[in-house]
Amino acid sequence: MGPNKYINMRLFTVIIFFITFLSFSKKKDREVNNYHRELTQAVDSAALQKKESTPDSSFKEMSIKRMQSYGTTNEILVGDIADFTVDDKNRVYIADMDQTTVHVFNTDGSYYTSLGREGNGPAEFAAITPNTTVCIYLNKLYVTDYSGAGNYYPSRAQVFNLNKELSFDQTLKLIPSNRDDYIKLEGYSPNKIYPKQSGKFLVSYRKSPSVYLDSTKYIRYFVLDSTGSVIDGPVLQQKGKRYLTYHVKNVPTPYWAIRSFSFFEKSLFTVTEKGELYTARSMEFKIDILNSEGEYQRSIEYPFDNVSVTAEELLEYYEKKDLSGLGPGKIGLKMIREAESLPNQWPALHTMFFDDKDRLWVATIVEDMEIYEWWILEKSGEVITKFEWPRQKPIKTVKNGYLYTQEEDERGVGQIVKYKIQIH
């Protein structure tokens, strides 16, 4: 046995003794359990060895062919797209922010029907916004909704049954009736919903971007039952986004402009069909895997060379972006110039999600800022293949052998595009 192994064995013995000592403690509260969990994670992380990059020659080949688009037709006008999803029959569901409804298209691109309308009742949507989430689980469609004027985050989800001709099923409350029992929900609002088995739901909660001075803001995940009551949580806590601000004064009504930029590190999250949680911080290619209760299991880690960047390069990059929503006078560039600190490299990861075969799709940031390099991994972490894809055609979901993107046509009108993929 080499000296390093001997030291590791002694360290492991000391840690096991410490954990055993904790197990005899009479303190049963959640803070102790969380500490135990973090200690276990530290042990596993210390034992983790970085995977070597798989040689490109060993990757499987991948072909991609454009098949069909979904959007405005002679029958229906589709406005700004908030989100979309696809069912087992390859029907496409598009949440329309302008018309406050969900359009349903057949697999061949023909219009089928629409679900919901503007309103505050069952099967109605008070508003569909960029924060609206549309997802399908066990043949039920979930669309998050905003009840009450001025709400930035959703307060409920309208549920439709796909087995019964898209009939309305129920309204799920996302603001828990027992939220006062959970101090870590104070000041937090619902964000996204992740349906689970047995009629339970994992819901993420976060603070409004307006709380930009709060350095302790997090994304917290709680488990709710079908009545909208919290039954467990937080099972996971991630760091929230960093925002830049600028006080706009020379206007009739002065205001604070607030925005997060893609060069800042952020938290990533996705979930498998069986409810396993995959989490990451975007600055490195390291994905932590937790069980459905939030207990650390293992990590996927690959060496990755982050792209270096200077403040001047960031300003040049965002000079080409449309930041007009912040107000007049290139406010976004002023935010960057006046920032207290800026990163000297881009994050490694941009986004990640699972397809219907439990393959993990990860978009990485490379030198060419016009593309992402996508990695497709087995759930275990083994790399299946890599490919480059244009940023202006973001991949949102992969199902039944097709990948779906959200794009703009030659007129600048939003649409969903389906591509046939083959990996061999």
Taking alpha carbons only, the member of 10, 17, 4 closest to residue 49 is 4
Tokens linked to 52: 């070597």
Spatial strand order of the sheet with 360-364 comes to 349-354, 360-364, 371-377, 383-390
Q: Kindly state the DSSP code that residue 57 receives in the 8-state scheme.
A: G
254: helix, strand or coil: coil
What average pLDDT does range 372-390 have in this prediction?
Answer: 97
- Please tell me the predicted confidence (pLDDT) of residue 153: 82
Quick check: helix, strand or coil at residue 318?
A: helix
Percent of the chain with pLDDT over 90: 70
Q: Which residues contact 285 (CB under 8 A, 6 or more apart)?
A: 301, 302, 303, 304, 348, 349, 362, 364
pLDDT, residue 279, reads 98
Q: How far is Cα of residue 334 from the mean position of the Cα atoms in its chain?
A: 28
Mean pLDDT, rounded, for 58-66 = 93
pLDDT of 195 higher than 50? yes
CA atoms within 13 A on the CB side of 234: 18
Query: Are 241 and 266 in contact, with CB atoms under 8 Å apart?
Result: yes
Q: Is the pLDDT of residue 375 over 70?
A: yes
29, pLDDT greater than 80 = no
Rounded average pLDDT over 258-275: 95
- Residue 359 has what DSSP assignment? P
d(C-alpha 340, C-alpha 422), whole Å: 47
How far is residue 58 from each of residues 52, 74, 358, 377, 382, measured CA to CA in Å?
13, 47, 21, 13, 11
Helix 30-47 / helix 3-23 crossing angle, nearest 10 deg: 170
Of 35 and 419, the one with more pLDDT: 419
Whether residue 18 is predicted with pLDDT greater than 60 in this model: the reply is no
The residue whose two tokens read 């000079």 is 319
Q: Label residue 47 by pLDDT band (50, 70, 90).
A: very low
- How confident is the model over 106-135, as a mean pLDDT? 93
Q: How confident is the model at residue 49 (pLDDT cuts 50, 70, 90)?
A: very low
Between 279 and 241, residue with greater pLDDT: 279
Please give the average per-residue pLDDT across 52-61, as a whole number.
Answer: 67
What angle (nearest 5°) sits at the alpha carbon of residue 14, between those of residues 11 and 18?
Answer: 135
Q: Which of 259, 362, 363, 349 is nearest to 307 (CA)?
A: 349
Measure Cα distances from 9 to 4, 19, 165 in Å.
Answer: 9, 15, 60
Structure token digits, residue 350: 């941009």
Residue 357: name the closest of 270, 272, 419 by CA.
272
CB neighbour burial string for 243-256, b if at least 16 within 10 angstroms, e if fewer: bbbbebeeeeeeee
pLDDT value at residue 184: 93
Q: What mean pLDDT do residues 330-339 have? A: 94
Identify the CA nearest to 277 among candidates 236, 240, 225, 218.
236
Neighbour count for residue 274 (Cβ, 10 Å): 11
pLDDT of 213: 61
pLDDT of residue 26 exceeding 50, the answer is: no
pLDDT confidence band for 108 (50 / 70 / 90): very high
The CA-CA-CA angle for residues 76, 81, 86, to 5°, reads 85
Highest averaged pLDDT of the listed ranges 20-24, 122-126, 295-299: 295-299
177-189 per-position pLDDT tens digit: 999 999 999 989 9
Residue 96 has what pLDDT? 97
Average pLDDT of the chain is 86
Name the strand (E) or helix (H) holding 190: strand 189-195
**How far separated are the first and last CA of the chain, in Å rounded?**
43
Distance CA 417, CA 1 (A): 57
Section 220-240 average pLDDT: 95
Q: What's the one-letter identity of residue 266?
A: K
How confident is the model over 382-407, as pLDDT tens digits? 999 999 999 999 999 999 999 999 99
Contact assessment for residue 126 and residue 148, using Cβ atoms and an 8 Å cutoff: yes
Q: Six-digit token pair at 397? A: 């979901």
Task: Please report where in the chains the tokens 């469609």 appear, as a residue.
Answer: 141
